[in-house]
């Protein structure tokens, strides 16, 4: 098996013929584009850390398909220890990049599609599971990055897919051929799609028999004919293309990206199809993927939270307020909230169980509790960071002003901090906090904490289903000595 290096990964993306548009223009080279490159660097880190001996245990695993060493992002969880290591790996990468590193969705899709296809085949005598195993072996052998694509535009959300006025608002099969199918539609919020070799598509909701054409799961290369990628805007994204704005960017090296991905009559060969009309299993695939991905947030968001807490502590030092009791208490509260998120991620992993297919699934109730907390706690952590930082975080003049001989001397004089801390040092920390709470990284931290892996209401619905109220009522009856 091949574990690609970071440089090999960059070259592999450079070879793709992607059809990408951003800010109204076609992007010919995503690798060297200054807006997209930080997101590519974040994925690159997942390859680089896998080659470091101190991180090998977290970043790599033994494949249950081949017995070979693979990057954990291409791995099927073989036990609860794997589930726990996944969360620890995600926290590590959050700490290293302070951003979204984009391979989690594909990893979570692998594990949900693997177990679902097994049960579809058991019930319907299909061969989707073998198709998927062959695809995943290929991914592991080449050490590929795969974009997991679940969310459809949805249109009128009061209507099922087959009742939409525009039939393409949920991705669908428009033609079935002997050698495969033709699909049309779109997927939104596609994390890291410009940095991925393949895209793994899944249904977005549970479906009924009338929705047969929409119950489709498959994988194709991201540069397949008919795929168009339209990159989404992020706050402060054009700072990355300004001259002398390295400090203003905040997190210069790393970032994330999202996109609308359009499928215009894309051909999918039979051996790349993992579900094709079996509507009764669409909900299972969605629920399992959502569970895995909600577990993920107990790792990645915590790692980014570590950086935000560290930035907040650093600015208190630069501002000369480390001894203030209310500052100490705010930092403690930030750590308390962050570690609570981590505890939920570890708990749902430790309580995981083996599926019929052989891989391990998290505890769905605890995974949804984990993500429900993520919709709240990062917002409070960010609020406290902004509180601690102060107003200069959002009124600090630009790096160009700092480097201007006329205005720079005034900035250095009036913006210096405690004990002679330079204005430049304070500026760097302010911009990092701004980036994490309001800028491009906020897409992968604060805002995405709300809507990633499903909205808060989606988790509450699952918590209601999984919390077993009837069993709890029986416990109360037993204690109260009530007989029916």
Q: Which of 127-136, 262-271, 443-452 has the lowest mean pLDDT?
A: 443-452
pLDDT recorded at residue 349: 98
Please state, in angstroms and rounded to a whole number, the distance separating the CA atoms of residues 424 and 404.
13
| List of domains in the chain | 285-474 (1.20.140.10)
Tell whether the model's pLDDT for residue 479 goes beyond 90. Answer: yes
Dist CA 414 CA 411 (whole Å): 5
Question: Which tens digits make up the pLDDT trace of 119-157?
Answer: 999 999 999 999 999 999 999 999 999 999 999 999 999
pLDDT per residue over 343-373, tens digit each?
999 999 999 999 999 999 999 999 999 999 9
- Is pLDDT above 70 for 30? yes
**What integer pLDDT is reported at residue 339 of this predicted model?**
98
**Is residue 293 annotated as part of the catalytic site, yes or no?**
yes
Query: What pLDDT sits at residue 444?
Result: 78
Tell me if residue 104 is catalytic: yes
Give percent of the chain above pLDDT 90. Answer: 95
Q: Is the pLDDT assigned to residue 47 strictly greater than 80? A: yes
Residue 283's pLDDT is 97
In which band, very low, low, confident or very high, does the pLDDT at 179 lie, cut at 50, 70 and 90? Answer: very high
Q: Is 448 a catalytic residue?
A: yes
**Would you say residue 441 has pLDDT above 90?**
no
Catalytic residue among 198, 258, 386, 434: 258
| pLDDT score at 1 | 61
What local confidence, expressed as pLDDT, does residue 218 receive? 99
Is residue 448 pLDDT above 90, yes or no?
no
Mean pLDDT computed over every residue of the chain: 97
Q: Considering 104, 236, 344, 348, which one is annotated as catalytic?
A: 104
Mean pLDDT value of segment 220-240:
96
Q: Which of 191, 279, 316, 440 is catalytic?
A: 191
Which of 297, 318, 342, 402 does the annotation list as catalytic?
297
d(CA 402, CA 423): 9
pLDDT digits (tens, 9 = 90+) for 411-421: 999 999 998 89
Q: Residue 442 above 80 pLDDT?
A: no
Whether residue 353 lies in the annotated active site:
no
Tell me, what's the pLDDT at 180? 98
Give me the catalytic one of 77, 129, 194, 300.
300
Which one of 145, 254, 293, 360 is the catalytic residue? Answer: 293
| pLDDT computed for residue 251 by the predictor | 96
**Integer Cα distance of 199 and 186 in angstroms:** 12
Active site residue 333: no
CB atoms within 10 A of CB 284: 18
Among 60-74, 116-130, 140-154, 445-459, the least confident range: 445-459
The closest alpha carbon to 36, from 304, 300, 260, 238, belongs to: 238
**SS in 3 state form for the chain?**
CCCCCHHHHHHHHHCCCCCEEECCEEECCCCCCCCCHHHHHHHHHHHHHHHCHHHHHHHEEECCCCCCEEEHHHCCCCCHHHHHHHHHHHHHHHHHHCCCCCCHHHHHHHHHHHHHHHHHHHHHCCCHHHHHHHHHHHHHHHCCCEEEECCCCCCCCCCCHHHCCCHHHCCEEEEEECCEEEEEEEECCCCCHHHCCEEEECCCCCCCHHHHHHCEEEEEECCCCCEEEEECCCCCHHHHHCCCCHHHHCCCCCCCCCEEEEEEEEEEEHHHEEEECCHHHHHHHHHHHHHHHHHHHHHHHHHHHHHHHHHHHHHHHHHCCCCCHHHHHHHHHHHHHHHHHHHHHHHHHHCCEECCCCCEECCHHHHHHHHHHHCCHHHHHHHHHHHHHCCHHHHCCCHHHHHCCCCHHHHHHHCCCHHHCCHHHHHHHHHHHHHHHCCHHHHHCHHHHHHCCCCHHHHHHHHHHHCCHHHHHHHHHHHHCCCC
Q: Which two tokens stand for residue 391?
A: 């107003």
Q: Of the residues 47, 60, 97, 100, which is catalytic?
A: 100
317-324, Cβ contacts within 8 angstroms, sequence gap of 24 or more: 317/418, 317/421, 318/417, 318/418, 318/421, 318/425, 318/426, 318/429, 319/390, 319/417, 319/418, 319/426, 320/417, 320/418, 320/419
Q: Is the pLDDT of residue 308 over 80?
A: yes
Task: Specify whether 297 is catalytic.
Answer: yes
What is the pLDDT, as a whole number, of residue 455?
87
């Amino acid at each position: 098996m091949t574990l690609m290096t970071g440089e090999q990964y960059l070259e592999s993306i450079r070879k793709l013929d992607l059809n990408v548009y951003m800010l109204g223009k076609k992007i010919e080279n995503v690798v060297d584009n200054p807006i997209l490159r930080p997101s590519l660097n974040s994925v690159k880190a997942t390859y680089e850390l896998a080659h470091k001996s101190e991180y090998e245990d977290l970043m790599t695993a033994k494949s249950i398909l081949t017995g070979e060493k693979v990057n954990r992002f291409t791995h099927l969880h073989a036990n609860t220890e794997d589930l726990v290591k996944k969360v620890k790996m995600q926290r590590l990468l959050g700490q290293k990049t302070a951003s979204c590193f984009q391979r989690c969705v594909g990893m979570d899709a692998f594990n949900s599609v693997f177990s679902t296809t097994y049960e579809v085949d058991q019930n319907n005598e299909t061969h989707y599971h073998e198709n998927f195993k062959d695809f995943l072996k290929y991914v592991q052998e080449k050490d590929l990055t795969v974009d997991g694509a679940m969310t459809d535009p949805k249109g009128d959300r009061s209507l099922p897919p087959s009742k939409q006025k525009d039939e393409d608002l949920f991705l669908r099969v428009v033609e079935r051929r002997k050698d495969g199918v033709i699909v049309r539609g779109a997927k939104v919020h596609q994390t890291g799609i410009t940095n991925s070799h393949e895209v793994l598509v899944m249904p977005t909701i549970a479906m009924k028999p009338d929705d047969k054409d929409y119950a489709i799961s498959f994988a194709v290369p991201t540069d397949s004919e008919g795929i168009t990628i339209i990159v989404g805007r992020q706050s402060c994204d054009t700072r990355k293309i300004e001259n002398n704005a390295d400090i203003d960017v905040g997190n210069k090296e790393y970032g994330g990206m999202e996109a609308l991905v359009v499928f215009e009559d894309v051909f999918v060969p039979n051996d790349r199809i993992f579900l094709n009309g079996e509507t009764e299993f669409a909900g299972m695939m969605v629920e399992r993927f959502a569970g895995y991905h909600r577990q993920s947030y107990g790792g990645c968001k915590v790692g980014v939270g570590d950086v935000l807490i560290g930035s907040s502590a650093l600015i208190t030092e630069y501002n000369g307020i480390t001894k203030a009791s209310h500052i100490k208490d705010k930092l403690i509260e930030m750590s308390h909230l962050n570690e609570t998120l981590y505890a939920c991620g570890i708990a749902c992993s430790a309580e995981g169980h083996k599926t019929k297919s052989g891989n391990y699934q998290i505890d769905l109730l605890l995974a949804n509790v984990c993500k429900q907390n993520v919709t709240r706690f990062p917002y409070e952590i960010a609020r406290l960071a902004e509180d601690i930082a102060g107003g200069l975080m959002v009124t600090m003049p630009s790096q160009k002003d700092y480097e201007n001989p006329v205005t720079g001397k005034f900035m250095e004089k009036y913006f210096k901090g405690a004990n002679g801390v330079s204005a430049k040092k304070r500026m760097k920390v302010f911009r990092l906090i701004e980036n994490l709470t309001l800028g491009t990284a906020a897409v992968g931290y604060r805002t995405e904490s709300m809507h990633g892996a499903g909205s808060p209401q989606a988790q509450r619905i699952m918590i209601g289903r999984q919390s077993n109220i009837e069993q709890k009522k029986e416990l109360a009856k037993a204690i109260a000595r009530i007989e029916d």
